[in-house]
């Protein structure tokens, strides 16, 4: 469970405006569902990479703020998260560390329109395939109970035999056709990641792999995936490997 135990006073690096920011006693990063581009659904911890907007109009990262080491007063304003409408401006920052975080968020935001198509497609396909499976199963296993048996079952509230879970559900996704804006943003994000020095822990091989894959650069995606450390190998890396083999570019939803 994510638990807040207080609020710390900080000052921005741009104009030294003071804000309060949560001090976490515990953090839970789990979510209901994950996407290969790093987006999460119903996450227990808000993302954003620590990107914030100051009242003076400048963008900053929480990790770059001045920490006073004591609690904020109750009337201290909280930090302001960056709205989607502000992301294009944030990507123009002369600070590459800020630009990188902004372009990552913009990448995920621009994929949100596809996510809506994806959800609708998956829901329709699951519903249609389930209906077809149940109809075929009923034809192959007709209800042979007598009228008397059906009456007894109804009185005893016994349900008729239903079709078992559907094996080998079909799985398709709608075509993914990124715009020139999306392509340009992904290419620039890749540059910033591979350049190094723009974030504390360096590029994440899984993120680099996904960017190459969504851009249709499958050979480079495969090479990037091979650079994953043993700790990075798991559900996500195996899914990416399959998508690369299938020459698929679409972001995909999955569960851990």
Cα 154 to Cα 43, 76, 118, 134, 137: the distances in Å are 43, 64, 41, 21, 22
Q: Which residue has the tokens 């007709």?
A: 142
Mean pLDDT of 50-67: 96
Predicted TM-score (pTM) of the model is 0.88
Provide the token pair at 62: 């929480």
Residue 200 pLDDT greater than 80, yes or no: yes
- Cα–Cα dist 100/93, whole Å: 9
Q: Is the pLDDT of residue 26 over 70?
A: no
- Tens digits of per-residue pLDDT, 215-246? 999 999 999 999 888 877 899 999 999 999 99
Strand order in the sheet with 51-53: 59-61, 51-53, 80-81
Rounded-to-integer distance, Cα 133 and Cα 105, Å:
40
CA 166, CA 18: separation in Å to the nearest integer?
57
Taking only the tens place, the pLDDT of each residue in 174-188 is 999 999 999 999 999
Q: Confidence band (pLDDT; 50, 70, 90) for 46?
A: low
pLDDT digits (tens, 9 = 90+) for 127-162: 999 999 888 888 889 888 888 887 877 888 888 888
pLDDT tens column, 77-132? 999 999 999 999 999 999 999 999 999 999 999 999 999 999 999 999 999 999 99
Q: Which residues, 6+ apart, have CB-to-CB distance to 164 below 8 Å?
A: 137
* Range 197-205 average pLDDT: 88
Give the residues across from 40 on adjacent strands.
34
Contact, 8 vs 21, CB < 8 A? Answer: yes
State which H helix or E strand residue 25 sits in: strand 18-26
- What SS3 class is residue 154? helix
105 CB contacts (<8 Å, ≥6 apart)?
48, 49, 51, 82, 87, 90
Alpha carbon separation from 160 to 96, 133, 141, 157 (Å, rounded):
64, 17, 12, 9
């Amino acid at each position: 469970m994510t638990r807040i135990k207080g609020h710390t006073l900080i000052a921005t690096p741009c104009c030294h405006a003071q804000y309060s920011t949560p001090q976490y006693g515990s953090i839970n990063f789990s979510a209901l569902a994950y996407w290969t581009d790093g987006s999460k659904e119903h996450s227990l911890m808000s993302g954003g990479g620590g990107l914030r907007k100051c009242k003076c109009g400048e963008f900053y990262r929480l990790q770059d703020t001045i920490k006073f080491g004591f609690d904020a007063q109750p009337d201290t304003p909280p930090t302001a998260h960056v709205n989607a409408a502000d992301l294009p401006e944030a990507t123009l920052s002369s600070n590459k560390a800020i630009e990188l975080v902004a372009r990552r968020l913009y990448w995920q935001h621009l994929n949100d329109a596809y996510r809506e198509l994806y959800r609708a497609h998956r829901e329709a396909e699951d519903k249609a395939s389930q209906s077809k499976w149940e109809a075929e199963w009923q034809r192959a296993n007709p209800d042979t109970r007598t009228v008397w048996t059906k009456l007894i079952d109804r009185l005893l509230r016994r349900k008729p035999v239903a079709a078992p879970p559907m094996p080998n559900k079909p799985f398709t996704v709608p075509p993914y056709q990124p715009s020139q804006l999306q392509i340009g943003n992904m290419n620039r994000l890749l540059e910033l990641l591979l350049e190094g020095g723009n974030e504390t822990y360096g590029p994440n091989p899984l993120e680099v792999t996904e960017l190459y894959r969504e851009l249709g650069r499958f050979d480079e995606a495969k090479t990037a995936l091979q650079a994953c450390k043993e700790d990075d190998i798991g559900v996500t890396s195996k899914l990416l490997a399959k998508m690369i083999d299938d020459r698929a570019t679409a972001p995909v939803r999955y569960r851990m």
